[in-house]
Structure 1
Amino acid sequence: MSLSSFSFPTAILFGAGARKEVAAHLREQGVKRPLIVTDKALAALPVLAEFRSHLAGLDAAVYGGVFGNPTASQVMEGAAAFRAHGADAVIGFGGGAALDVAKVVGVAATHEGDILEYAWDHPKVRPITHELPYFVALPTTAGTGSEVGRSAVVSENDTHLKRIVFSAKLLAKRVFADPELTTGLPSAITAATGMDALTHNIESYLSPAYHPLCDGIALEGTRIAARALPTAVREPANLAARGDMLMASMMGAIAFQKDLGAVHSCAHALGAVCDMHHGLANALMIDTVLAWNQQAVPQKFDELAHVCQVPGGGANFIAWLEQLKREIGITGTLSSHGVKAQQIPRLVEIAVADICHQTNPRPCTAQDFERLFHEAMQ
C-alpha cells in the first residue's frame, strides 16, 4: 500500500444570517479596513448594500471590477484598490469569479510581479512567500464552491486561457455560508451554477484517484444536489433548497481536491474559446462525456444512480441527467448556444492541455475530445 496524504479545508459558519457575523469576527482579528472584492453586477445591487450595513465599526471599501471569466488585469486592479485603501483584510463577496479574484488580490498586493507568475504551470513560477492579508469569503451562488478551495482560476488577458494559482495559503480563514445571499439569483443562474456543483461531485467521485474521504463527500453532495436543484430553480425563496445547494456546492469543491475529469477539460476550453459560463459549459457537456465514461466504471454509475434515486440503476443515469437538465431549463446543444464547428480544433487543443482529464475514468486523446465536442454540437 502506498502512502497517501489527505487534507480538508477551512472553518465554515453555515446558515441563514451568517453574513451578520462577519464584522464581529473581523474585529476579533484586529481588522479595521477591509476591502470587499465583488463583481460589477453585485456591486450595484441592494444585496451588497445590505451586507455593508452589517459591517459596523469597520472602514470597508469596495472593489467591484470582476466580471465574466476573471482575468489577470482584474486581479491587479483589485490589488491596486487594496493598496489605495490601505486595507488590512479582504472580504470575498460573490460567485466563483469574485471569490477567485478575492483569493489572490492579497497575493498581488503583497508580492512582486503579475499574478500569473504565481500560477502553478508558469515556467518560472514565483513562490508565495509573504504573509497574506486576512481573508474571509461569502458565496452568493451555489456552484463553484470557491469559498472552500485553495486555488484561484484566473484567465490570461489576451488568450483567455485559464491559469491556476494553487496554495493552501489561499484558503479563507473563515467562510460565512448564508443561503439568504443566494435567494435573489435568477433561475437560469441557479440552474447553471447548480449544474456546476453537481458536476464537481459526480466527476470527483468518478475520478480514479484514491481518496475515500472525498468519495463519501461527493456521493452525499450528489444526493443533496439532485434532490434540491429543481426546487431551488422553481422556488427561488425556498431557504431549505437554497441551503442544500450551498452545502452541495461546498461539498463538491471539497471533494474535487481528489481531482475532476474530462467534462471540466471541455468546459474550460469552452470558457476560453467561447467565453461561455462555466456552469452552463459543464451542463452542455456532462451527459455526452459521462455516456462515454460509463463503460469504464459501471459500478460507480450504479452508486450515483442509487443516491439520486434513479429507477433502473446506472444504466438509466444519463437519461436521468438529461431529464434533470430539461426540468431546470437547460436545453439545447453546443451549436444552439453559439459554438461554431470551426472552433472545435481550438477547443480540442485547449482541452488536451487541461489538467483535469488526467483523472478521467478513461484516458482522453485529442481524437476523443474532437468526437465528444462534435457529439455535443448535435
Structure 2
Amino acid sequence: MSITGISFPTAIRFGAGARKEVAKHLLDRGLKRPLIVTDKALAALPVLKEFQSHLQGLDVAVFGGVFGNPTASQAMAGAEAFRQHKADCVIGFGGGAALDVAKVVGIAATHAGHIIEYAWDHPKVRAIEKDLPYFVALPTTAGTGSEVGRSSVISEDDTHLKRIVFSPKILAKCVFADPELTLALPPHVTAATGMDALTHNIESYLSPAYHPLCDGIALEGTRIAARSLETAVKEPGNIAARSDMLMASMMGAIAFQKDLGAVHSCAHALGAVCDLHHGLANALMIDTVLAWNQESVPEKFEELAHVCRVSGGGAQFIPWLRALKARVGITGKLGAHGVKREQLPRLVEIAVADICHQTNPRPVQAADFQRLFEAAL
C-alpha cells in the first residue's frame, strides 16, 4: 500500500508506514527538540516506543499527562513540559484527547494567561497573537478526526464544561495518518471511535447549513465508514478496513466545518456530567436523535440509506444503524452505561447550552432534550 500526499485542509501523509517520515520532516525544517504529547495509557505501551525508534537525530521528550476527557490543567502541564524541555515543536500522538491537548500546548507555552481564556466564548477572550510552535499530528484512533481540525475541545477542571479553542493557527502543519498505529486498538475502542466518525459524517450532512463541499465529503465518509466499521472491529488486523476508518474519521472532521447537531449536544452533556467516552456517548444517542430528526429531512435519510446500501430506503436507515451498533458490540441504553435518572436535569441544561444543536435539522428546546434523554435512558 503506497503513501498518498493530500493537502486538504492541511498536508496529510496517508498510508501504512507514514509515521516513519516524521523525523526527516522535522529535521528538514531545522527542528530538533520535539515534545511528544500523548496520553498516559499510550505512554506506557510499545506503540509509542516503536514510534520513537523512528525519531533518530531528534532530542525527544514525552508529556504523557493526558487522560480521560482533556482538561485545561492537562494543557497547562503540557505547556510547562514544553518550556522545561526547551522544545521547538510539538508532536501530537494519540486519540482525540491527546491531539486536542497537543493543539493548544503551543498557545499556553508561548502566550500569557490560562488556556481557557483562549476559548472562543470566554467573556474576555484572548487573541493568539504570536506564531505557534510547529505542530504535527499522528492519530492512533479512527474517530474524532482531531488531527485535521482547527478546534480543540478542552474541559474546565472545576465545572467539567467543554470549551472550544478555535483558530486556523492550531491546525497541524502536517498529519501523518498511519493505519498501522490503529492496529492495537481493542474492539470496544474501535467500535466507539468508529461510531464517532460515522456520527460526524451523518450529522454534518444533516445540518441545514449550506456547504455542498462538506456534504459531498460527509456522504463519502459515511459510505466508507458504513462498509468498513464492522470489519475493523471483528478483524483488527485488516489494514484495508483500518485505513478506511482512518480516512472516514478525517473526512468527518473536515465535513463538520459545516457544523453538527443535537447528537453532539447530548454527547457533550454526557461527557461533562457522566464522564462518558465521547464516541460511546454519540453511539448511545445517535439512533434516538436521528429518529426524532427524520421527519424534518426525509430526503436526506434516503440519500444516507443509498450510500450505506440499506435495503428499503430511508425508512430503514435507523433500524440499519441500530443493527450495526449491535454487530460491533455497542448494546444497552444510557442506564446500562451508568447514567442515572437524577442526572437528567443537568444533562438537559448542558445540552441546551451547547452550540452544536443550533444546526440540528429540527429545532431543539429543553423539553425536547428531556424527551430524547428519557427515550435513550
The CA deviation at 1:8 is: 5.1
Q: Which residue of 1 aligns with 2:105?
A: 105
The CA deviation at 1:206 is: 0.1
What CA distance in whole angstroms lies between the structure 2 residues aligned with 1:123 and 1:360?
26
Q: Which residue of 2 aligns with 1:220?
A: 220
CA deviations over 1:234-288 (Å, ceiling 9, x no partner): 0001000000000000000000000000000000000000000000000000000
Q: Which residue of 2 aligns with 1:75?
A: 75
CA deviations over 1:19-73 (Å, ceiling 9, x no partner): 0000000001110100000000000000000000000000010000000001000
CA deviations over 1:70-116 (Å, ceiling 9, x no partner): 10000000000000000000000000000000000000000001100
Q: Which residue of 1 aligns with 2:265?
A: 265
Is 1:34 matched with 2:34? yes
Is 1:66 matched with 2:104? no
What CA distance in whole angstroms lies between the structure 1 residues aligned with 2:202 and 2:360?
11
- SS class of match (2:65): strand
Q: Which residue of 2 aligns with 1:362?
A: 362
The number of equivalent residue pairs is 371
Letter in 2 for 1:293: N
What CA distance in whole angstroms lies between the structure 2 residues aligned with 1:213 and 1:269?
29
Is 1:277 matched with 2:277? yes
What CA distance in whole angstroms lies between the structure 2 residues aligned with 1:8 and 1:72?
29
Unaligned runs of 5+ in 2: 1-6
CA deviations over 1:160-212 (Å, ceiling 9, x no partner): 11000000000000000000000000000000000000000000000000000
- The alpha-carbon distance between structure 1 residues 8 and 51, as it changes in their structure 2 partners (threshold 3 A), is closer
What CA distance in whole angstroms lies between the structure 2 residues aligned with 1:340 and 1:45?
34
Is 1:174 matched with 2:174? yes
- SS class of match (1:113): coil
Is 1:10 matched with 2:10? yes
Q: Which residue of 2 aligns with 1:318?
A: 318
The 5-angstrom pairing of residues 136-155 of structure 1 reads: 136-155=136-155
The 5-angstrom pairing of residues 337-352 of structure 1 reads: 337-352=337-352
Letter in 2 for 1:360: N
CA deviations over 1:279-304 (Å, ceiling 9, x no partner): 00000000000000000000000000
Letter in 2 for 1:304: L
Letter in 1 for 2:254: I
The CA deviation at 1:322 is: 0.3
- RMSD (Å) for aligned C-alpha atoms: 0.7
CA deviations over 1:289-336 (Å, ceiling 9, x no partner): 000000000000000000000000000000000000000000000011
Superposition misfits of 4+ residues, deviation over 2 angstroms: none
What CA distance in whole angstroms lies between the structure 2 residues aligned with 1:148 and 1:60?
23
TM-score using structure 2 length: 0.98
Q: Which residue of 2 aligns with 1:3?
A: none
Letter in 2 for 1:233: V
What CA distance in whole angstroms lies between the structure 2 residues aligned with 1:166 and 1:290?
27
Letter in 2 for 1:199: T
Q: Which residue of 2 aligns with 1:54?
A: 54
Q: Which residue of 1 aligns with 2:120?
A: 120
What CA distance in whole angstroms lies between the structure 2 residues aligned with 1:189 and 1:160?
23
The 5-angstrom pairing of residues 240-255 of structure 1 reads: 240-255=240-255
Percentage identity across paired residues of the two chains:
81
Q: Which residue of 1 aligns with 2:4?
A: none
What CA distance in whole angstroms lies between the structure 1 residues aligned with 2:119 and 2:139?
23
- SS class of match (2:12): strand
- SS class of match (1:123): coil
